[in-house]
Amino acid sequence: MSLNSADIKRIAHLARIEVSDAEADATLTKLTGILGLIEQMQAVDTTGIVPMSHSQDVTQRLRDDVVTETNQRELFQSIAPAVEDGLYLVPKVIE
């Protein structure tokens, strides 16, 4: 697996991070080093091993479907970049 600058730009787009051509080239070198490290995993035979997603064998807890939180819209929106009439403002998405 070897990446090129175009791959970096594609991944960056998926991650919603703008990268310039110069940044993509610099990132490519570092990412190639890290992916080389990750590649060591492929030497291990993992046939039949159950993936481990959590260290303890626990199940997801469920709670009653009732209201537990109070409305704190004003407080939460006081730290937003742009709000109007209780709504978050973003650029127009529907023409």
Partner 1 sequence: MINKSLKQLGAMLQAKEISSVELTQEYLNRIDRLNPEINAFITLDKDKTLAQAKNADAMLAAGKASAMTGLPIAQKDIFVAKGWRTTCGSKMLETFIGPYDADIIERFDSVGAVNLGKTNMDEFAMGSSNETSYFGKVQNPWDRSRVPGGSSGGSAAAVAARLCAAATGTDTGGSIRQPASLCGLSGLKPTYGLASRFGMIAFASSLDQSGPMAKSCEDMALMMNVITGFDKRDSTSLNREKEDYTRDLNKPLAGLKVGLPKEYFAEGLGADVATVVQEAIAEYKKLGAEIVDISLPNTMLSIPVYYVLAPAEASSNLSRFDGVRYGHRAKEYGDLMDMYCKSRAEGFGAEVKRRILIGTYVLSAGYYDAYYLKAQQIRRLIAQDFENAFKKCDIIMGPTAPSTAFKAGEKADDPVSMYLQDIYTIAVNLAGLPGMSIPAGFAQSADGKKLPVGLQIIGNYFDEARMLNAGHAYQQVTDWHIQMPEGIE
Judged by CB under 8 A, the chain residues 30 through 89 that form the site for partner 1 are 30-31, 33-42, 44, 46, 49-56, 58, 60-61, 63, 72, 75-76, 78-82, 88
Residue type, 51: P
**Other CB atoms closer than 10 Å to residue 83's CB: what's the count?**
15
Least distance from partner 1 to the Cβ atom of residue 54, Å:
6
**One-letter amino acid for residue 35 of the chain:** L
How many other C-beta atoms are found inside a 10 Å radius of the C-beta of residue 5?
Answer: 16
Is position 15 an interface residue for partner 1 (rule: CB under 8 A)?
yes
Q: Does 22 bind partner 1 (CB under 8 A)?
A: no
Q: Choose between 41 and 66: whose C-beta lies nearer to partner 1.
A: 41
Distance, in Å, from the CA atom of 84 to the CA atom of 88, rounded to the nearest integer, reads 7
CA separation, residue 64 to residues 41, 61, 67 (Å): 42, 10, 9
Summarize as ranges the residues that interact with partner 1 (CB under 8 A). Answer: 8, 11-19, 27, 30-31, 33-42, 44, 46, 49-56, 58, 60-61, 63, 72, 75-76, 78-82, 88, 90-93
